[in-house]
Amino acid sequence: MEHGDETAVGLLSSPVRRTIVDTLANLPAHTDLGDRRQVSADGLSAGDLAEHLGLHVTTVRFHLDQLVAAGLLRSHFRKGEGVGRPRKLYTLETGSLDSVSQTHSYQLLSELLVDAFGVGESGRAITPEEAGERWGRRRVAEEGLSAAEVAPARSAGQWLGKIGHMVDMLGDWGYTPEVSTTNAGRTARVSLYECPFIALAHQNTSVVCGIHRGLMRGVLESLGEESTDIGLTPFVGPSLCVAALTATAPFATPAASPARAASPAHPAPASRPSLPDKEIS
């Protein structure tokens, strides 16, 4: 891991610097900054960013200088129409976030491997899967979720919400997950593209895949899903692994609507009015 990459990861721990980088990384999607100016992909000045963030321009320049020094941004001058000094614009350095993302992923992995070389409560060394499970549980606990949010899913929609929570954490690792469902929503197929550990996984499949299987289990169990079948198939493609997660606990039976509950399943035919008996003469 290069020292510069570590510096870049540390810089992006600041919400202001993350917002600056995010704004510059998405310039083509910004037609304006909430005012009358048209924004081009050439970059933004410190004044543009200060107005966008609601900060003093001196504060923004301080953060910009640090991001440029770390190699995340680059600056250039552009001469405007008419006379006057050229504007100093800032843009994202090409490829600058690739190494940051990979560095962040390996920092998370190293954090887990430290656990894996430790010992569990029983005094024995814990497995990579157990290390991943502990990490997942710890991260969910840090979020301070409500009792309702960690209750077992009562429907396929709620179950998919739990899967989404887990997918967000996998995104933090550097994956690009895609989710599809089968089995009436009970099984989620999570395609994990762009594995950041593909080279390491080829050499130590049981370690890397064990960590990720444990991470999924730890997150889902912490969200109330203790009855989940988890399968992980590595190397489905050059940089693709596929996880299959199935909820085995029964979902709640949908309650009948009041109108339906009030009406009988087979209403009795309406009674006909009785006719007077004929007199027999």
Residues 179 and 227 in one domain: yes
187-191, 224-228, 258-262: least confident range: 258-262
What phi and psi, each to the nearest 5 degrees, are found at residue 277? -65, 140
Check whether residue 107 and residue 206 sit in a common domain. Answer: yes
**Residue 267 counted as domain residue:** no
Q: How far apart are CA 22 and CA 18, in angstroms?
A: 6
38 pLDDT tier (thresholds 50, 70, 90): very low
Radius of gyration of the chain (CA): 29
46-58 per-position pLDDT tens digit: 999 999 888 899 9
Domain check: are 26 and 125 in the same one? no
Nearest alpha carbon to residue 177 among 98, 270, 245: 245
pLDDT: which is higher, 6 or 114: 114
Residues 102 and 176 in one domain: yes
Q: Looking at residues 172-197, what average pLDDT do you find?
A: 84
Which stretch of DSSP H or E encloses residue 132?
helix 128-142
The confidence band for 253, taking pLDDT boundaries of 50, 70 and 90, is low
pLDDT recorded at residue 101: 47
pLDDT band with cut points at 50, 70 and 90 for residue 164? very high
Total domains in the fold of the chain:
2
CATH code, domain with 176: 3.30.1380.20
Model confidence pTM above 0.85: no
Q: Are strands 176-182 and 228-237 parallel, antiparallel or unpaired?
A: unpaired
Residue 127 has pLDDT above 90, yes or no: no
Does the pLDDT at position 17 exceed 50? yes
With respect to residue 254, please indicate whether it lies within any of the assigned structural domains: no
Residue 135 included in any domain: yes
21 assigned to some structural domain: yes
Cα 235 versus chain centre, distance: 22
* Closest residue by Cα to residue 86 from 50, 49, 42: 42
Q: Higher-confidence residue: 82 or 20?
A: 20
Does any domain span residue 273?
A: no
If one counts every other C-beta atom within 10 angstroms of the C-beta of residue 204, the result is: 14
Give the tokens for residue 258.
């009041």
And the tokens for 253?
């039976």
The parent domain of residue 110 ranges over 98-247
Domain boundary among 63, 94, 125: 94
**Mean pLDDT of the 248-253 span:** 82
In a domain, residue 220? The reply is yes
Query: 155 to each of 15, 91, 159, 186, 250, how far by Cα in Å?
Result: 36, 46, 6, 9, 9
- Domain check: are 136 and 238 in the same one? yes
Same domain for 136 and 36: no
How far apart (Å, rounded) are the C-alpha atoms in residues 128 and 160? 26
Cβ proximity of 47 and 59 under 8 Å: no
User: Residue 279's pLDDT band (boundaries 50, 70, 90)?
Assistant: very low
Residue 152 lies in a domain: yes
Q: Which of 94, 117, 148 is the last residue of a domain?
A: 94
Residue with the two structure tokens 């007199």: 279
Residues 39 and 102 in one domain: no
183-203 average pLDDT score: 82
- Do both 154 and 204 map to the same domain? yes
What the block records as the tokens of 73 is: 């941004």
Kindly state whether residues 238 and 127 are assigned to the same domain: yes
C-alpha torsion angle, residues 244, 250, 251, 253 (rounded to 10): 150
Residue 266 lies in a domain: no
pLDDT band at 280 (very low <50, low <70, confident <90, very high): very low
Residue 159 has pLDDT above 80, yes or no: yes
| Residue 89 shares a structural domain with residue 103 | no
At residue 202, the pLDDT reads 78
Given a cut of 60, whether residue 274 has pLDDT beyond it is: no
Paired strand residues for 237: 240
Task: Output the domain CATH number for residue 33.
Answer: 1.10.10.10
End position of a domain, from candidates 52, 78, 94: 94
Give the pLDDT of residue 200: 73
Three-class DSSP category at 176: strand
Classified as helix, coil or strand, 220 is: helix
Do 66 and 188 lie in a common domain?
A: no
* Residue 259 neighbours by CB distance under 10 Å: 7
Confidence of residue 190 (pLDDT cuts 50, 70, 90): very high
Is residue 129 domain-shared with residue 231, that is, in the same domain? yes
